[in-house]
């Protein structure tokens, strides 16, 4: 049997799964939309990735990351659960060992990670302003009636990108409409929108950060050639897009699982058959103190398998 490791990254927009071998090479990867149903996305992802794997693959370890990492970890039986910063940094070091700056833009948030000598020294995240995220590009592509896959190609055709206010989605959209009414062509509007998103990112997420090469750009938006070109123009340096740019969080989770389990540990991974189990999430407010934490329960086939949410740790064990 071939020992392999699974990483899963559950976010608000996408759920990603990567299977790596013992050498850290990705054997299979999957990117699917979460669609507001993370449990269903996890189960469907497990079904699809299993169907794509050779029969001799044996999962020796599993890791989870992303905003839904605790949920994913409970469902699959993850050996290690880590935040997105750690997972993305580990994956970027695997792909570009000398990386010093990571630019990451996903569907609902964006982040910057600063590494020096292979160690994370600083980071920043933006989970509030949508103007610097992939969902904003999706919305504008839909409004313009242009497939998002064509956005980057059109941006590269721009010769005179228009200046678009990119500090807020509302202002950006109204500014785009105004530029259309003035008669600017669609390529220059999209080119201006790409530059506005990059400007928003650099002025907010990356404000005060020292961006040193090599610079790695990852996340789903890295597929957009227009955004890549806008970053390169703004930073006046080459931007590296790794092979697995869209699933770097899951890749990092798989690498972390491999390193963790290799220390003579036996995996807790439940197997792909958990995709057929029934899971339910419920919550309640703990009245034990003034914090009034919301405690989340996850049930598998009617049994509570995990709890989280308390600041004091009171509900972290299932014996309560």
Residue ranges of domains in the chain: 2-90+249-276, 97-241, 278-320
- The answer regarding whether domain 97-241 maps to CATH 3.10.20.30 reads no
The per-residue pLDDT of the chain, averaged, comes to 88
Burial code (b: 16+ CB inside 10 Å, e: under 16) for 43-55 equals bbbbeebbeebee
User: In the CATH scheme, what is the homologous superfamily, with its name and number, of domain 2-90+249-276?
Assistant: ATPase, nucleotide binding domain (3.30.420.40)
Per-residue pLDDT at 104 exceeds 70: yes
Weakest-pLDDT range from 10-24, 160-174, 238-252: 160-174
Beta strands 101-105 and 215-218 are parallel
- pTM of the complete model: 0.86
pLDDT at 274: 95
DSSP calls for the chain: -EEEEEEEEE-SSEEEEEEEETTS-EEEEEEEE-TT-HHHHHHHHHHHHHHTS-TTEEEEEEEEESTTHHHHHHHHT-SEE--HHHHHHHHHHHHSTT--EEEEE-SS-EEEEEEETTEEEEEEEE-S-GGGSHHHHHHHHHHHT--GGGHHHHHHT-SSPPP---S-HHHHHHHHHHHHHHT--HHHHHHHHHHHHHHHHHHHTTTT----SSEEEESGGGG-HHHHHHHHHHHTS-EE--TTGGGHHHHHHHHHHHHHHTTT-------GGGGGS-EEEEEEE--SSTT-PEEEEEEETTEEEEEE--SSSTTSSTT-
For strands 80-81 and 57-65, give the pairing: parallel
Instruction: Using pLDDT thresholds of 50, 70 and 90, give the confidence band for residue 102.
Output: very high
- Percent over 70 (pLDDT), the chain: 92
Question: What residues contact 313, with CB distance under 8 A and at least 6 apart?
Answer: none
Fold identical between 2-90+249-276 and 97-241?
yes
139 or 226, higher pLDDT: 226
How many CB atoms lie under 10 A from the CB of residue 174?
13
């Amino acid at each position: 049997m071939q020992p392999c490791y699974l990483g899963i990254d559950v976010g608000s927009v996408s759920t990603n799964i990567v299977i790596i071998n013992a050498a850290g090479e990705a054997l299979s990867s999957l990117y699917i939309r979460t669609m507001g149903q993370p449990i269903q996305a996890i189960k469907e992802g497990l079904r699809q990735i299993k169907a794509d794997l050779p029969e001799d693959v044996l999962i020796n370890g599993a890791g989870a990351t992303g905003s839904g990492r605790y949920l994913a970890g409970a469902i699959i039986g993850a050996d290690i659960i880590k935040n997105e910063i750690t997972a993305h940094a580990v994956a970027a070091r695997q792909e570009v060992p000398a990386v010093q700056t990571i630019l990451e833009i996903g569907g609902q948030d964006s982040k910057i990670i600063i590494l020096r000598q292979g160690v994370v020294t600083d980071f920043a995240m933006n989970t509030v302003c949508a103007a610097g995220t992939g969902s904003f590009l999706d919305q504008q592509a839909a409004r313009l009636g242009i497939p998002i896959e064509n956005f980057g190609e059109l941006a590269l055709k721009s010769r005179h990108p228009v200046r678009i206010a990119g500090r807020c989605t509302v202002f950006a959209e109204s500014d785009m409409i105004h530029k259309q009414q003035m008669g600017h062509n669609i390529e220059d509007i999209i080119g201006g929108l790409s530059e506005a998103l990059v400007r928003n990112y650099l002025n907010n997420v990356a404000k005060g950060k020292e961006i040193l090469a090599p610079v790695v750009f990852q996340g789903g938006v890295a597929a957009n050639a227009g955004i890549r070109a806008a970053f390169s123009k703004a930073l006046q340096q080459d931007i590296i897009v790794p092979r697995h740019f869209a699933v770097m969080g899951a890749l990092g989770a798989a690498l972390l699982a491999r390193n963790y389990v290799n220390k003579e540990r036996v995996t807790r991974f439940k197997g792909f058959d958990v995709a057929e189990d029934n899971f339910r999430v419920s919550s309640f407010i703990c009245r034990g103190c003034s914090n009034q934490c919301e405690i989340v329960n996850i049930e598998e086939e009617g049994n509570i398998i995990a709890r989280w949410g308390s600041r004091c740790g009171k509900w972290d064990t299932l014996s309560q």
